[in-house]
Structure 1
């Protein structure tokens, strides 16, 4: 499922439909966040929508996919020639195909790694990379592994598994990162309350922003929202009644 941001919900939807080259009849649309004008620019936020392609035959081509992961060059996404056949494949088969696709990309990055898949349920699966080059695979601030995860999700969407979410991990990075983000959320909330001003965090991917939002959703002193456009979208933590 792809995420799109714009000043209004309708603009975000139109941008998403245009980007995916589909019409509304061929899209499943989920409004993640409505837009807000704010007051004198404070508290303003864009609208966010998620769009899922119903018919994988109109999904973005390999050139579009390569553009979304700028740090991985010469990506060759082989097209699915038989959509009906791929729909009949099990999740296990989809993960096997994904692993075969990811392996040469990881090797191209100069990383030797063993992939250890685990299907958690019918909608979520994980692939853990066992390697002695965890730092290289993770990249600065998780840039490399996050780009690989985006690419993996796009590949699954392309072969007809848009409802199967994938997470890539190595050396328990995801758990460690989640704990860091939770502490960051609490620290930022205290700062926002103490200063009485909104605090803007650094840009991060949507699944990391979700950790911040979830951690502070029951906090009675602050509100959180996301601002900006991907890949520079960031969480804003503001004191209540700003």
Structure 2
């Protein structure tokens, strides 16, 4: 009896053969026709195909026909025990690869993390808190939650998204700050909660990166440092990260919250004397002897500049006045 069994792994296909024939694996001859291939991230692609051969009649005949001595050695066929080592080498390496599959897949897919009960409670607390504020404002409180490596992102999409975001995300930042304070209150382990609406965070991140590149080019061209407007810590980190990838410029923060700013500077600033233009050079050629002196050539200028009598007598500030 020969049959071909298909399963996700070779081991499962062999188990199907054992249950189908109702015989131990040692009495079944297996031949692996196809094995599943290991793809990206350790995932298995395709299925395993195993050919199983089992001869129940030949093994039962010697038991029933005891008087037939010549027939006894034929069905026993020492090939059955001799083939046992051939079955085991094929099965052992396949069995060793089976446990690797559940270890590789969760390592990639489950890494972004499943929330603990405490973290899930914090996320739900923050969501309900922000939703209550939006309802009191007459806005939609529909939201979705996304688990990230550092925490969760709560996205509120619906009518009035502009009101939720505010001017340059100020309202969104305020909601995020309040939600974080409420959910992490009285707990030493901080759980990061990000509030977003209509993909504003990603759009703002791209805008800040382009701003950092533009300012860096200007600093490289002029050699002058440029101070940006006050930003929150999240946006300052985006600026610092973008500037760090550009050669010739550096960045640092200055000031105190909430007015802390980022300053982008050149690593090779120009000296003040090197910034003289052509007009400065022409002026120096026209006046090589320095500033022009006053010429008292005319009689009017001589009379005007002639010392007064009170100057010659060193009279006091308030002298005698005669009428």
1:116 corresponds in structure 2 to 144
Whole-angstrom CA distance in 1 between matches of 2:249 and 2:181: 35
1:120 CA displacement: 2.0
- What CA distance in whole angstroms lies between the structure 1 residues aligned with 2:186 and 2:179? 11
Asked whether the equivalents of residues 92 and 119 of structure 1 are also in contact (C-alpha less than 8 Å), the reply is no
Tell me by how many angstroms 1:97 deviates.
Answer: 1.4
1:212 aligned counterpart, secondary structure:
helix
Give 1:190-209 correspondences, 5 Å limit.
190-209=217-236
Structure 2 residue runs of 5 or longer lacking an equivalent are 1-115, 270-323
Q: TM-score, normalization: structure 1?
A: 0.60
* Cα separation, 1, equivalents of 2:246 and 2:138: 44
Consecutive unaligned residues of structure 1, counting only runs of 5 or more, are: 1-87
2: CA distance, partners of 1:235 / 1:192: 13
Partner of 1:156: 183
Runs of 4+ more than 4 Å apart: none
Distance 1:184 1:110 in 2: 35
Residue 100 of structure 1 and its aligned partner are, at CA, apart by 1.7
RMSD: 1.7
Question: In proportion to residue count, which structure has more strand?
Answer: 1
Number of aligned residues: 154
User: For the Cα contact (< 8 Å) 2:223–2:268, is it kept in 1?
Assistant: no
For 1:56-205, list aligned pairs within 5 A: 89-121=117-149, 123-160=150-187, 162-205=189-232
Shift of residue 211, structure 1, vs aligned partner: 0.5
Aligned equivalent of 2:262: 235
Q: Is the 8 A contact 2:126 2:180 kept in 1?
A: no
Kept after mapping to 2: 8 A contact 1:94/1:161? no
Q: Which structure is higher in RCO with an 8 Å CA cutoff and minimum separation 6?
A: 1
Give the Cα–Cα distance (whole angstroms) in 1 for the partners of residues 162 and 254 of structure 2. Answer: 29
1:103: Cα distance to partner?
Answer: 1.7
Change (3 A) 1:129 1:161: farther
SS of the counterpart of 2:231? Answer: coil
1:68-87 alpha-carbon deviations (Å, 9 max, x no partner): xxxxxxxxxxxxxxxxxxxx
Q: Is the 8 A contact 1:217 1:223 kept in 2?
A: yes
CA distance in 2, matches of 1:160, 1:89: 14
Aligned-partner Cα distance in 2 for 1:109–1:132: 11
More helix by share: 2
Residue equivalent to 1:17: none
Larger Rg: 2
